[in-house]
Amino acid sequence: MLIHQRTLQNEISLTGIGLHTGRECTITFKPAPVNTGYIFVRNDIDDCPEIPALIDHVVDVLRGTTIGIGEARVHTTEHVLAALFGLQIDNCRIELSGPEPPVLDGSAHPFAEALLSAGIAEQDEPKNYLVIDETIEYHDAEKGVDIVALPLDGFRATVMVDYKNPALGSQHSGLFDLDKEFLREFSPCRTFCFLSEVEALANQGIIKGGDIDNAIVIVDKQLDETQIQALADKVGVDASHLVLGQNGILNNRELRFTNEPARHKLLDMLGDLALLGMPVKAQILAARPGHASNVEFVKQLKKYADRNKLARQFQHEKKAGVIFDINAIMKILPHRYPFLLIDKIVEFKLDEKIVAIKNVTMNEPFFQGHFPGNPVMPGVLIIEAMAQTGGIIMLNGNENIQESVVFFMGIDKARFRKPVLPGDTLVIEAIMTNKRRSVCQFDAKAYVRGELVCEASLMATVMSKKS
């Protein structure tokens, strides 16, 4: 079934103060044309700069996800974006009269309710899903974070949190149906922090708009009256309004769900996933996620999406285990027989890694003159095969491939370990080590039957054919 993009029928506004900046702001959601995505507009700044809600524009992840272009910033975007993503709205202009959307009750629910009251309109363009068909993983050993995307014809998300803190313990939550569960089960879940964090956060100049009505504060330490007064002064509230409480929550506030913190972490992850710029078909499993890890994971998803876009551009026939076959390679590289020296690409991680296959046969023209009685593939041609492999990873879709060509600038640390003979299959792995503008460096290794036969560090640049 073809599923179409959606936007709003009418515009709608909400007003409040920002959680971290403490500044009053009116947020106005407006309809937008197909393929617009989500665009924040700072109406309080001259020329009303627009900031597309895309992962490339993330500038800070301290206790929230901030996007920006130039001097213009929008702080704490995740609750607004989670409401849009969760309601499966694809296109929206989000106009702000300040630097940060209002925090309201600390959840995405007020935004979701407002969007629904504005009405949702279907548009005459199909949704452009990112379909995950292989496992994509993010791992941060230092912070104990793991996020995985698995193939699924739909969208599911599961989150586990464990702060190794007895005041919260371990929690998990799963969302299995956006249509049925998002509005009632996840959008009302409020932001939270630990009591031990509040003073440090205030000292960092954030949570200026935080109070006991828009955040859950988990009591993980005991304070005497003097400390309570000092804390109240720090966060700008009356000390008589602070009670440590008996239920583990400041002021004995009731949780909306027993696992509300885990559900809010899942809500935050939805908001950060929205920065991909397209809906996702995948099952996502996350252990101890946060905004920093979410952003890094979305960057990996974007590379996967860009790779798939590039693959669709050149590889018209999908083949198991093949990213680019020889026909696709010939559309990307200018080389032709007898100097096209790779046969297929079997692995491709954009701007990271590529693996190519070269089948070495007795029919290669160079064997006629290179040791005819004892044919050995010339080392210089192995290097050239490495270079062509690296050339594909450089042409990552941002350039006009038909008008570009890769030129090599340097070869370093070239070593030939074993001879390559007719009948061998050369597996070439190139890993990008540095990229600046149109120049990149990569380390390449060639293997036969798992044994290293050649390695080198290469430098190349992409130039226009007209240069």
To the question of whether residue 224 is assigned a binding role by annotation, the answer is no
Q: Is the peptide bond before 422 cis (omega within 30 degrees of 0)?
A: no
Average pLDDT over residues 186-207: 78
| pLDDT score of 315 more than 90 | no
Question: Residue 308's pLDDT is what?
Answer: 85
Higher pLDDT, 321 or 29: 29
Least confident of 11-20, 79-88, 160-169, 291-300: 160-169
Question: Residue 167's pLDDT is what?
Answer: 67
Residue ranges of domains in the chain? 4-187+262-307, 192-255, 326-464
* 106-134 pLDDT, tens digit each: 999 999 999 999 999 999 999 999 999 99
Name the catalytic one among 139, 172, 335, 370. Answer: 370
Average pLDDT over residues 19-35: 94
> If you ran DSSP here, which 8-state letter would residue 189 be given?
P
Whole-number Å distance between alpha carbons of 64 and 291: 6
Whole-number Å distance between alpha carbons of 166 and 119: 43
Whole-number Å distance between alpha carbons of 464 and 63: 43
| pLDDT score of 186 more than 70 | yes
Q: Measured between alpha carbons, how far is residue 158 from residues 151, 269, 312 in Å?
A: 14, 10, 30
- CA-based nearest residue to 279, from 74, 17, 87, 450: 87
Question: Residue 276's pLDDT is what?
Answer: 97
Higher pLDDT, 253 or 209: 253
CATH class in words for 326-464: alpha beta
Average of per-residue pLDDT values in the chain: 89
Question: Residue 236's pLDDT is what?
Answer: 59
Most confident of 4-18, 209-223, 389-403: 4-18
Higher pLDDT, 427 or 319: 427
- State the DSSP H helix or E strand holding residue 310, giving kind and residue range, or none if neither: helix 291-314
- Look up the CATH number of domain 4-187+262-307: 3.30.230.20
Asked if 335 is an active-site residue, the reply is no
Question: Residue 405's pLDDT is what?
Answer: 80
Q: Measured between alpha carbons, how far is residue 33 from residues 89, 267, 367 in Å?
A: 12, 26, 59
Average pLDDT over residues 346-371: 92
| pLDDT score of 397 more than 60 | no
| pLDDT score of 428 more than 70 | yes
Higher pLDDT, 410 or 166: 410
Question: Residue 123's pLDDT is what?
Answer: 97
Question: Residue 251's pLDDT is what?
Answer: 72
Contact 121, 149 (CB under 8 A): no
Tokens representing residue 211 in the block: 């109070």
- CA-based nearest residue to 309, from 388, 395, 387: 395
Asked if 172 is an active-site residue, the reply is no
Question: Residue 309's pLDDT is what?
Answer: 82
* 53-102 pLDDT, tens digit each: 999 999 999 889 999 999 999 999 999 999 999 999 999 999 999 999 99
Task: Using a pLDDT cut of 90, give the percent of the chain over it.
Answer: 67
Question: Residue 62's pLDDT is what?
Answer: 87
Tell me the residue length of the chain.
Answer: 467
| pLDDT score of 396 more than 80 | no
| pLDDT score of 435 more than 90 | no
| pLDDT score of 233 more than 70 | no
Question: Residue 75's pLDDT is what?
Answer: 96
Least confident of 98-112, 368-382, 398-412, 416-430: 398-412
Instruction: State whether residue 348 is helix, strand or coil.
Output: strand
Same fold, 4-187+262-307 and 326-464: no
Average pLDDT over residues 409-432: 95
Whole-number Å distance between alpha carbons of 32 and 401: 32
| pLDDT score of 277 more than 80 | yes
SS3 content of the chain, % helix, strand, coil (to 5): 25, 35, 40
pLDDT-derived band at 412, boundaries 50, 70, 90: very high
Contacts of 334 (CB under 8 A, 6+ apart): 405
Whole-number Å distance between alpha carbons of 195 and 207: 13
| pLDDT score of 209 more than 70 | no
* 283-296 pLDDT, tens digit each: 999 999 999 999 99
To the question of whether residue 109 is assigned a binding role by annotation, the answer is no
Average pLDDT over residues 211-221: 75
Average pLDDT over residues 243-256: 76
pLDDT-derived band at 33, boundaries 50, 70, 90: very high
129-135: Cβ within 8 A, 24+ apart = 129/278, 129/279, 129/280, 129/281, 130/276, 130/278, 130/279, 130/280, 130/281, 130/282, 130/301, 130/304, 130/305, 130/308, 131/281, 131/282, 132/280, 132/281, 132/282, 132/304
To the question of whether residue 57 is assigned a binding role by annotation, the answer is no
| pLDDT score of 193 more than 70 | yes
Whole-number Å distance between alpha carbons of 334 and 331: 8
Question: Residue 21's pLDDT is what?
Answer: 85
